[in-house]
Structure 1
Amino acid sequence: MKLNRIFISSILLCSLWFNSVLKAQTITVLQQDKPTSIRGLSVVDDNTAWISGSKGYIAKTNDGGKTWDWQQIKGYEKSDFRDIEAFNDKEAVIMSSGTPSLILKTVDGGQTWHEKYRKTDTTYFLDAMDFADNLHGYILGDPINNKFLLLETKDGGETWNESNNAPNALPGEASFAASGTCLRVSDKEAIYIVSGGSNARLISLQPHNNQWQYSNLPLTHEKSSEGAFSISIGQNTGIIVGGDYASDKKTDSVATILAVHPVLTFTPSQTGPAGFQSSVEHIKSGMFLSTGTPGSNITTNGGQTWKQIDSTSFNVCRRAKHGKLVLLAGNSGKIAVLKL
């Protein structure tokens, strides 16, 4: 009897601790009411971050998100900058997804932007961008002739070339330009791509290996609005999220746990996020944040169970490359911070 009481007490204490950890996470809106939909977000450190959005808008903060310097880039007022990669407070690269497909770069904090890539062919649609380091990066685009478009730079975004080793695509398969996180490149130059539509897959390329690996994901798919939207890799463990943006309240098959070593394996979450999620980010050991139009969710046990912490709609969430700052962004110029 005494042992049972001790056991029950231990369970209650663990439950109270877990709930207190989740209650400690809050999201606070910093900016909103701007005429742009933000999907590009790059957090450099605890002070500097950049965002990019529709109608040619970008913004930068140097004080951790308290204030933002906004601009609509002249001559690119119709561009939809779906992703941005910032290296510091002076240097950043942005990509526009529509026609023409564009890549621009600044080295003076956004005072001037220089065009580094332009494609007027309507078959080109850019989805996401990521860098292994300040020089070596990739941009993923929709499939052309049954192959994903993969652009590569080795000089920090000054020049871009189509990769000779682009992954294969199945009919009706594509990636989503929803948050710039359907493509991830590790600092060891492993490449991870998630897809949706007719198939939901993880497409990966490990360092020093020219053979792409293709893995089916236990996420909802088949319709053009369904599939895997985002991936984030932690310490040998990752999370992939998605769902159906056309029915964003559906909670079935919206998240899976990815084990990277020794082989790729997938385990659906026991309790998933509350609906469709367009972005996921590793925060710290065992903790991931995901967000989407139905709100934001957090897991503290590596994706096994999730808890909704906010019902505000966002498109993207990102953590500082060098620091702890975590920001979110979405429609109407909305920018928020996760407080741990």
Structure 2
Amino acid sequence: MDSCKIKNKPLLFIGHTILLLFITSGVIAQHVDVLQQDKPTSIRGLSVVDDNVAWITGSKGYVAKTSDGGKNWNWQQVKGFEKAEFRDIEAFSDKEAVIMSSGTPALILKTIDGGANWKINYRNTDTAYFLDAMDFDSRQHGFVMGDPIKGKFLLMETKDGGNNWNTFNGPDALPSQAAFAASGTCLRTDGLFAIITGGSVAEVITFKTKGGWKHSRVPIIHGQSAQGAFSISTGPRQYVVVGGDYQKDKRQDSTACYSTDKGLTWHLANTFPAGFQSAVEYLKEDTFISTGTSGTNMTTNGGKTWTKIDATSYNACRKAKHGKLVLLAGNGGKIGILKL
């Protein structure tokens, strides 16, 4: 009997090893292919409409659009805005898109003819205004957020597809607390209205019509101006937050956390992404992808463990609103596609 137990142990061990290898190989099989690069712009705005149409925005006023799933891109520098930092974009079709510029002046532009013409729908020359991100929960309704002004995060709301913007009562901010205009995903409004912060405090700040703003600390590295939570994404069973220290982007500790109770409690990942991550995106079931200047990572268990799938630097990753296409974008005009 004892000898049988001894013989069974290696078989059990081998079985677990095979299972582990199977799970790991499933993650490693995912990879990122570069579609475009070597353009003089740092891309941080990315909006994927469906499996064919996607838009990107970047520094020096650059905008690009694809209508064939990323194979070909039409580039332009928006005339008169060659110095603009277009940090975020929300696209609704191959014709209609809204873009947002950080810095001074703070700008929101819109096109309804595929980028042939852009209309200025918001312009503010006050140097206190620094826009960080934009998100829509429907074609007509959306928000833009910015760094705190007089102790409150800046929020503006549109109810007509980005044509007009009005001030919305933003949450309180602590001294040296801010958000990061890194990937357009420090603000999420579809399903969960959340603002993600860093600097002095790493928080997920959520809003409900009844109850107002709720501040929840998250166990992401913070305390310095380059540190904090940078991005949030939600799945049906969990919320995932990523971040880190963008000045020390190889530092891995406390770069990801997750919640399985809709943000009531947060847990550090058991194994972290391989360094700083500026964006995270829900894909399916318990699978999320995250990316940053340290590379791209994936989790298949809701944020508990992460595996590095690509070492290339990117700033943003987004999945199609209507489809399966997943694109990434970064410095040097780099655009990548996730191969599943």
Equivalent residue number for residue 176 of structure 1? 180
The answer (yes or no) to whether the contact 2:258–2:268 under 8 Å persists in 1 is yes
Higher-Rg structure is: 2
Deviations 1:282-317 (A, max 9, x none): 111111111111111111111111011111100000
Counterparts of 1:206-225 in structure 2, within 5 Å, are: 206=208, 208-225=209-226
State the alpha-carbon separation in 1 of the partners of residues 186 and 146 from structure 2.
Answer: 10
Give the residue type in structure 2 aligned to 1:30.
L
* Aligned residues of 2:87 and 2:183 also touching (Cα < 8 A): yes
Q: Structure 2 residue aligned with 1:81, among 82, 86, 103?
A: 86
- 2:194 counterpart residue number: 192
Counterpart Cα distance in 1 of 2:30 and 2:258: 21
| Residue type at the aligned position of 2:166 | N
Change (3 A) 1:216 1:319: same
The separation in 2 between residues aligned to 1:10 and 1:137, in whole angstroms, is: 50
Residue 224 of structure 1: how far off its partner (Å):
0.3
Question: Secondary structure, in 3 states, of the residue corresponding to 1:104?
Answer: strand
- Cα deviations by residue, 1:41-82 (Å, 9 ceiling, x for unpaired): 000000000000000000000000000000000000010000
Deviations 1:258-282 (A, max 9, x none): 2344x62101000000111001111
Q: Show structure 2 runs of 5+ residues with no match.
A: none
1:65-108 CA-to-partner distances (Å, cap 9, x unmatched) read 00000000000001000000001111000000010000000011
Matched, 1:146 2:156: no
2: CA distance, partners of 1:177 / 1:209: 28
Alignment root-mean-square deviation, CA: 1.1
| Mapped partners of 1:121, 1:322: distance in 2 | 37
Matches within 5 A, 1:181-330: 181-187=185-191, 190-206=192-208, 208-261=209-262, 264-330=264-330
Q: Distance in 2 between matches of 1:209 and 1:74?
A: 44
Deviation at 1:7, TM superposition (A): 2.5
Paired with 2:54 and 2:261, the residues of 1 have a C-alpha distance of 29
Checking the alignment, whether the CA contact within 8 Å between 2:230 and 2:243 is kept in structure 1 is yes
Distance 2:264 2:13 in 1: 37
Q: Shift of the alpha carbon at 1:24?
A: 1.2
* Residue in structure 2 matched with residue 130 of structure 1 by the alignment: 135
* Alpha-carbon spacing, 1:173–1:52, altered in 2? closer, same or farther (3 Å): same
> % of aligned pairs identical?
60
Aligned to 2:16, the other structure's residue is in SS state helix
* TM-score normalized with structure 2 length: 0.96
SS of aligned partner of 1:265: coil
Partner of 2:115: 110
Deviation track 1:109-150 (CA, whole Å, cap 9, x = no partner) reads 111100000000000000000010101100110000000000
CA distance in structure 1 between the aligned counterparts of 2:89 and 2:281, rounded to whole angstroms: 16
Code of the aligned partner of 1:39: R
Distance, in Å, in 2 between the alignment partners of 1:6 and 1:93 is 58
- 2:315 touches 2:330 (CA, 8 Å); kept in 1? yes
Among residues 164, 167, 172, which one is paired with 1:162 in the alignment? 167
Match of 1:179, as an amino acid?
S
For residues 301 and 259 of structure 1, what CA distance do their matches in structure 2 show? Answer: 11
Q: 1:59-78 to 2 correspondence within 5 Å?
A: 59-78=64-83
Looking at structure 2, the residues matched to 290 and 157 of structure 1 have their Cα atoms a distance apart, in angstroms, of 28
Counterparts of 1:64 and 1:24, CA distance in 2: 21
Give the letter aligned to residue 253 of structure 1.
Answer: S
In structure 2, distance between residues paired with 1:198 and 1:174: 8
- Secondary structure, in 3 states, of the residue corresponding to 2:15? helix
Aligned residue type for 1:167: P
Corresponding residue for residue 338 of structure 2: 338
Q: Is residue 101 of structure 1 aligned with residue 102 of structure 2?
A: no
Q: How far does residue 236 in structure 1 lie from its aligned partner after superposition?
A: 3.4
Provide the rounded CA distance (Å) in 1 between the counterparts of 2:146 and 2:125: 14
Number of aligned positions between the proteins = 335
List structure 1 runs of 4+ shifted beyond 6 angstroms. none
Gaps of 5+ in 1: none
Following TM superposition, by how much is the alpha carbon of 1:3 offset from its aligned partner in structure 2, in angstroms? 4.5
Q: Distance in 1 between matches of 2:206 and 2:25?
A: 37
